[in-house]
Structure formats: structure tokens, C-alpha cells
Amino acid sequence: MNVLLILCIIVLVLSSLLLIGSILLHKGRGGGVSDVFGGGISTSMRSSGVAERNLNRITVGVALVWVTSIVLIGLITKFQG
């Protein structure tokens, strides 16, 4: 059980970092964090609708992995001892 718990924690950390990165890459709607990192300057590079849809899909997929790993960690620690 310890190996499964460690694996779930590793997946949680990696998916957390990927989720933070994918959220910060989204196109800003004005006045958000993306403007701090130059979101207003590079809007012409990320104005593609296909790229934004793909980024949305990646973000949702990573979020599902994140939630699943949290639930698995909770179940493992509940039934472990």
C-alpha cells in the first residue's frame, strides 16, 4: 500500500504543477494574472481558437487526474490503518 500511496502523491505533485502552468497559459480576459506576465503583448500569438480549445482540453484532463489522485490518496489513507 505504501508504494501506491507514494505513486499517488507523485502524480498529485506533477499534476498540480501542470495544472498551474496550464491555467496561467490561458488567454487573459483583462486584468488577470496573464497580463502581469505579458498577456497583453502576446495576444496575437495565442489568438487561435484551436489552440485555446486544445489548452482547455488539456486543463480539464489534468484537473481530472488531479482530483482522482486526491480521492485515491484519501481512500488509501482511510483504509490503510
**62-72: per-residue pLDDT in tens?**
999 999 999 99
CA–CA separation, 12 vs 8, rounded Å?
A: 6
**13-24: per-residue pLDDT in tens?**
999 999 999 999
Q: Is residue 32 part of a domain?
A: no
Query: What's residue 39's pLDDT?
Result: 57
Q: Is residue 65 part of a domain?
A: yes
**24-59: per-residue pLDDT in tens?**
988 766 655 555 666 555 555 545 688 888 999 999
Q: Is residue 8 part of a domain?
A: yes
Number of domains into which the chain is organized:
1
Q: Is residue 55 part of a domain?
A: yes
Q: Is residue 40 part of a domain?
A: no
pTM as predicted: 0.74
Query: What's residue 21's pLDDT?
Result: 94
Q: Is residue 16 part of a domain?
A: yes
Neighbours of 80 (CB within 10 A): 10
